[in-house]
Amino acid sequence: MESECQSFAKALRAGNKPAFSSEAKSIDYARKLDAQDKLKLLRSNFNIPSRRSLKKRALDGSLPGEPSQQRTSNGDAADDDKPSIYFVGNSLGAQPKCIRQYLDSQLETWASIGVNGHFTSLGNSPLTAWQDMAADCAQKSLDLVGAASPSEVIYMNTLTVNLHLMMASFFRPTEQRHKIIAEWKPFPSDSYAIASQLEWHGLSTSTSLIEIQPDPETLYIPTERILSVIDEHADSTALLLLPGIQYYTGQLFDIPRITAHARRHGITVGWDLAHAVGNVELALHEWNVDFAVWCTYKYLNAGPGAIAGCFVHERHHHHHSNGAPVNGGKAAEKKSYVPRLAGWYGADKAVRFNMEKEFSPAAGANGWVVSNPSAIDLACVGAALSVFGQTRMADLREKGMVLTAYLEWLLKGLVEEDEERREGQGPAFRIITPANPLERGSQLSLLLRGGLLQRVSEKLAEAGIVVDVRKPDVIRVAPVPMYCRFEDVWEFVEVFSQAIEEAQ
């Protein structure tokens, strides 16, 4: 028999809202949904910060979840040892427990066999030889990004560095086509990258940057508006660069439709998937995306500043041979390929150690690698991706949709209650993330009435609730399905309600 969770997921897949009953306002109901959750055991793979550990100001050798030496007066474990409500995976994911094993394996390999670790896989190790670790991570990412093969994926550098490398190859402005189409409020690093790329080519943001504006009241950007802007600037646009999910509002863009529309106009299409990978289902190869970049420390849980990912569609992988006769002689064969900022580790592995001056790129996305990627970083990414190997993105997406819908339903109840109590003042907050479940991931952005943010965020922190605060008035709440529970959602709303009441 179909559970409520399964029934809700099916409704959300169809773009409909679940029919929560009045009993859904109780913690018992939230716990019932947790009992039905087929992914509930994934939570045991993570170190969730405890309320005590969040207050830590010096290392003491302990990890969250370990028995505390501190006791309350009646001898019970302190309430502070309970896990926090960690709703900030859209900024930094919780730590997978297996990270420690992967790092220890890397350190033992380095200590034991030194430079030979580049070419040797030791028994009982979760790691491959160092020079194959990026390829191993690519293999583990196929379901996450919807690549046709590992050759379309590479892990290297960090997100903005990869964005610059991709733009070096795929933003090739001409006198006719020189514009970049972006949206009104990219993550600041993307804004800096776009502006500096334009300046590098002797262009100006005032003439070569087109920003798609949202509705001024809701901050929503309709797909039709994006398509209209593409049509308006099609003949002069070289690159469309958008986020899969807009970080501030949490809006999920229609990647396949927008990509297809832009490419019909001959526009190169790139996506920043920092808030989308590990959060929503992707099919980058099938959607014909030219390139995409993402970080791994948000929904992928690989740790702060972890090495980033990059997708290059296979149609850009092919090398061609050509040449022109020299002094009337026979044409000299020369390989041509998509121009890129090259480095030694992007060279074909078969000839890399020939140490030749002429660059012969490795096949696929590997040909865009510049430097030897950090084995320590790749160990963290490999560990994080191994947890995703225990499930499917389709299942994570369904749970995330139900968690977020439950959060939305409870929050809307608060808005209604607040409006009744404070007639004429307007609500203390509103949700600026799209109501359509197909246009968002596991995040709701709450826009608070002016002057409330500081006091509300302090109350949440006091209660051991971790959320992302974006000044001046937004709180981003991310119930990540890998390790968050329906009970967490219920408790967050209870504390948030009290915090709003006390702050007004």
- Angular region, 305: left φ>0, alpha ψ -120 to 50, beta rest: left
Helical H runs in 295-433?
A: 375-388, 393-421
Q: What is the structure's pLDDT at 151?
A: 97
Dist. CA 252–CA 438, nearest whole Å: 8
Positive or negative, the CA dihedral 463, 466, 470, 473 is negative
386 annotated ligand-binding residue: no
174 annotated ligand-binding residue: no
Dist. CA 482–CA 465, nearest whole Å: 17
395 annotated ligand-binding residue: no
272 annotated ligand-binding residue: yes
Dist. CA 421–CA 414, nearest whole Å: 11
- On whether the CB atoms of residues 155 and 308 are closer than 8 A, the answer is yes
- Residue 308's H or E segment, with its range, is strand 308-312
Q: What is the structure's pLDDT at 72?
A: 43
188 annotated ligand-binding residue: yes
Tokens of 330: 């026979």
Q: What is the structure's pLDDT at 48?
A: 97
200 annotated ligand-binding residue: no
159 annotated ligand-binding residue: yes
187 annotated ligand-binding residue: yes
- pLDDT by residue for the chain (504 residues), tens only, comes to 688 998 999 999 999 999 999 899 999 999 999 999 999 999 999 999 999 999 999 999 999 977 654 544 444 455 788 999 999 999 999 999 999 999 999 999 999 999 999 999 999 999 999 999 999 999 999 999 999 999 999 999 999 999 999 999 999 999 999 999 999 999 999 999 999 999 999 999 999 999 999 999 999 999 999 999 999 999 999 999 999 999 999 999 999 999 999 999 999 999 999 999 999 999 999 999 999 999 999 999 999 999 999 999 999 998 765 544 444 455 445 568 899 999 999 998 888 888 888 888 999 999 999 999 999 999 999 999 999 999 999 999 999 999 999 999 999 999 888 766 766 677 899 999 999 999 999 999 999 999 999 999 999 999 999 999 999 999 999 999 999 999 999 999 999 999 999 988
Helical H runs in 330-392?
A: 375-388
What are the distances in angstroms from CA 336 to CA 318, 320, 333, 395, 489? Answer: 9, 5, 10, 42, 54
The dihedrals phi and psi of 450, each to the nearest 5 degrees, come to: -50, 135
Q: At what angle do helices 99-113 and 375-388 cross, to 10 degrees?
A: 140
Q: What is the CA radius of gyration of the chain?
A: 25
User: Hey, which residues does 446 pair with through a beta bridge?
Assistant: 431, 475
Q: On the CB side of 346, how many CA atoms lie within 13 Å of its CA?
A: 23
Predicted model pTM = 0.94
Dist. CA 208–CA 135, nearest whole Å: 37
Eight-class DSSP state of 347? B
Dist. CA 431–CA 404, nearest whole Å: 12
- On whether the CB atoms of residues 244 and 275 are closer than 8 A, the answer is yes
Contacts 24+ apart (CB under 8 A), 188-191: 189/159, 189/160, 189/163, 190/160, 190/163, 190/241, 190/243, 190/272
Positive or negative, the CA dihedral 14, 16, 21, 22 is positive
Q: How, if at all, do strands 268-272 and 237-243 pair? A: parallel
Tokens of 230: 């593409």
- On whether the CB atoms of residues 40 and 30 are closer than 8 A, the answer is no
488 annotated ligand-binding residue: no
196 annotated ligand-binding residue: no
59 annotated ligand-binding residue: no
